[in-house]
Structure 1
Amino acid sequence: MVLPTSTKRRANMTLTKTTLMAAVLGLASVSAVQADDVPHSQIDTLVKDGTIQSLDKLDKVALDKHPNAKITDTDLENEYGRYIYQVELRDPQGVEWDLDIDASNGDVLGEEKD
């Protein structure tokens, strides 16, 4: 059976849209997987090797940024080969903050008020 040209174009556009959507979803799932929690068993080795700063130093960076705040949670993640220390804090007014710190040098990469 031979399809009219307009039907072929619609079929090609549908196929193109479907392929594009699959590619976008695939990239989104890959980027979500790229941030891996670093197991506690590896942290000492990373500190001894000089790959990251000690967690005490990184905690101090967060507390210097928000004096009198309390650290409520921390995570060390490997994002595309870069170690990011994520710190959650609560300040004396009860405001919660999320900080991302480059674990190799202590630079604050970003902060967000919750």
Structure 2
Amino acid sequence: MRNKSVLFSLLAAGGIGILASQGIDVMDSARADDKLDYKEARELRQQGKILSLQEILKRVEKDYPGQVIETELEREHGSYVYELEILSDNDRVIELEVDAASGEILKTEEEE
């Protein structure tokens, strides 16, 4: 079974390589909603389309103090969203979705 998954992974990687060599942007065409890398985030910040992560964290820490353990910037349904995971002072993990343009908290979840 393991050999089949390794073979599939190699075939998939080869297919992506072929598409990329033809000038096809696989990552943009494969996902409508996707994670952004630091270059894209910096460009959006410089264009004034999103707030900086520093600004978002400053706003969030007032209501959700703790240690930030993970951050992601994603494009979701045409908007930019910061996804944050915070380890609270009472050892709970709180997941937040924050509108990257306005800083508005869109969603909160608490893990046990």
Determine if the TM-score, normalized by the shorter chain, exceeds 0.5. Answer: yes
Give the match for residue 40 of structure 2. Answer: 42
Unaligned runs of 5+ in 1: 1-32
Matched residue SS, 2:81: strand
Give the match for residue 68 of structure 2. Answer: 71
Contact 1:38 1:76 in 2 (8 A): yes
Give the match for residue 3 of structure 1. Answer: none
Taking structure 2 as the reference length, the TM-score comes to 0.69
Matched residue SS, 1:99: strand
Higher helix share: 1
Matched residue SS, 2:90: coil
Taking structure 1 as the reference length, the TM-score comes to 0.67
Q: How far does the alpha carbon of each residue in 1:50-81 deviate from its partner, in whole angstroms, 9 at most, with x for none?
A: 100011001112212212x1100000000121
Larger Rg: 1
1:103 Cα offset (Å): 0.1
Q: 1:111 aligned to 2:108? A: yes
1:35 Cα offset (Å): 2.0
Write out the 4+ residue segments of structure 1 that deviate beyond 3 Å after TM superposition: none
Counterpart residue type for residue 65 of structure 1 = D
